[in-house]
Structure 1
Amino acid sequence: MRDALRHLVAEFLGIFAVVFLGGGAILMAQQGAGNLLTVALAHGVVYAALVSATLRVSGHFNPAVTLGFLVTRRIQPMMAALYVVAQLVGAMAAAYALKGTFPEEAFAGARGSTQSIALAVEGGQAFLLEAIATFFLVFTLFGTAVDPQAPKLGGLAVGLVVVADLLAIAPLTGGSLNPARSFGPAVAAGIYEGQLIFWTGPIVGGIVAAVLYDQLFLPRGPEEPGSGAVQPVQGRRARREHAV
């Protein structure tokens, strides 16, 4: 019971930080105290810090990540369901904390930090943008945290890809990447625009990334000769010197 509790508390705190601090940056940007770069950096830094802090326990903070783990059999169905519940509750709690602590005009002006789809972007395009951006988020998480041979980067790589994703697609879709991140503020603000896309796009992208990495990139036996990792520069230099 205690083991399950720490997983769920980690998920709650992680998504709370993402929604409260990332959403706070959006609210401040709407008041002229920031821009797209500051919003992207706020989200990326929060992800990097909190994923690093909780990676030993969970580090998902996102139903798209959790479902990717579920499909690749890295989490039990019941625990996956509890993760998603903790993520949704944490996101709602953070959104209401924003509503209760930030000036009312700031919360209303930024629509509670909810995302919106640009008028020039069609539904199918928005779906693909969210799916592709979340694909790279989950792929990076698998490549730096799940893979047993991954470089020990903590959540840094995840934070960096979040920054890049938001810089690329936030002006078009708001840059959800995370159904819980979209759902919490939507409940607090009473604005449910685009929720279908903010759920389906990230979930599809996350599952595709998880399955692809699991099936194609995770080691399942010795590498064939000549197909392993790139040799270090020092090794290549030593071979050239030996040949001479």
Structure 2
Amino acid sequence: MPSIAFGRADDSFSSASIRAYIAEFISTMIFVFAGVGSAIAYNKLTNDAPLDPSGLVAIAICHGLALFVAVAVGANISGGHVNPAVTFGLAVGGQITILTGIFYWIAQLLGAAVASLVLKVVTGASAIPTHGLGAGVGAVEGVVMEIIITFALVYTVYATAVDPKNGSLGTIAPIAIGFIVGANILAAGPFSGGSMNPARSFGPALASGDFSGMWIYWVGPMIGGGLAGIIYGNVYMHQDHSPLAADF
């Protein structure tokens, strides 16, 4: 059974750890800039018309492609988490220490905030789209939806990027992770917003000053990511396997 470790300060402040935090900041900034930017672009091209199926597909594809790149460029430095829920799921599964995970969260939230604030400036103070529930969808339904889709994401991360039995999958892991996020946005976007990522929700909320319903995009993804870490870590991985993530 994987063990959860708090970690040591000297590990979390080593040069390798600092590089990892910077990599998470940059990767998250890349992802959020492209993802939120695609939503802003859609609103501009349609004069703020309601999201239609073609717009949903375009935004889902953009998020999937951006996440593929963000994970790929950070994979060999920080593991390419790009998401506090992924970091939490890996911490629960014993793949990263709690202390290092906290600094990952800080880097990810800062990256998302910077990307969103820059977008607000460079798009002429355009409205920054925030995650929200669809018409007729309650908070409980939204949380459950976010739990399910985030579970799918973190489970995919474990299966393709973490489990040492798979060996080196090269670009397959980032592609699979990008695909599952794009697919989940197509499925959940009209209902919960399809966040799966507290940082992705936090950045636009900060830039717009609208934090309504933000708890949904923390509670749902954290529960989903944690469940994936517990289930995959205990059912499919064993103690004789060394964690793939760096032992910061």
TM-score, normalisation: structure 2:
0.84
From 187, 191, 200, the counterpart of 1:168: 187
Aligned equivalents of 1:66, 1:51: Cα separation in 2: 13
Structure 1: where are the runs of 5+ without partners?
A: 222-244
How many residues in Structure 1 have an aligned counterpart in Structure 2? 217
Partner amino acid for 1:100?
Answer: V
- How many angstroms does 1:200 deviate by? 0.2
- How many angstroms does 1:31 deviate by? 2.1
Q: Which has the larger radius of gyration?
A: 1
- How many angstroms does 1:173 deviate by? 1.5
Aligned equivalents of 1:56, 1:216: Cα separation in 2: 26
- How many angstroms does 1:4 deviate by? 1.2
Partner amino acid for 2:218?
Answer: W
Deviation by residue 1:55-97 (Cα, 9 ceiling, x = unmatched): 1222111111111111122112221110000011111001101
Structure 2: where are the runs of 5+ without partners?
A: 1-13, 47-53, 241-248
Identify the residue that residue 57 of structure 1 maps to in structure 2: 77
Is the contact made by 1:55 and 1:154 (CA closer than 8 Å) also made in structure 2?
no
Identify the residue that residue 46 of structure 1 maps to in structure 2: 66
Aligned equivalents of 1:43, 1:143: Cα separation in 2: 21
Partner amino acid for 1:141?
Answer: V
Identify the residue that residue 137 of structure 1 maps to in structure 2: 153
Is the contact made by 1:186 and 1:192 (CA closer than 8 Å) also made in structure 2?
yes
- How many angstroms does 1:219 deviate by? 4.7
When the two chains are superposed, the root-mean-square deviation of aligned CA atoms in Å is: 1.6
From 69, 73, 78, the counterpart of 2:90: 69
Is the contact made by 2:146 and 2:217 (CA closer than 8 Å) also made in structure 1?
yes
Deviation by residue 1:20-44 (Cα, 9 ceiling, x = unmatched): 1110100011123671111001110
Identify the residue that residue 233 of structure 1 maps to in structure 2: none
Identify the residue that residue 196 of structure 1 maps to in structure 2: 215
Partner amino acid for 2:24?
Answer: E
Aligned equivalents of 1:211, 1:190: Cα separation in 2: 35
Do residues 26 (structure 1) and 39 (structure 2) align?
A: yes
Deviation by residue 1:3-25 (Cα, 9 ceiling, x = unmatched): 11110011101110111111010
- How many angstroms does 1:220 deviate by? 5.3
- Bigger fraction of residues in helix: 1
Aligned equivalents of 2:208, 2:239: Cα separation in 1: 47
TM-score, normalisation: structure 1:
0.85
Aligned equivalents of 1:31, 1:41: Cα separation in 2: 18
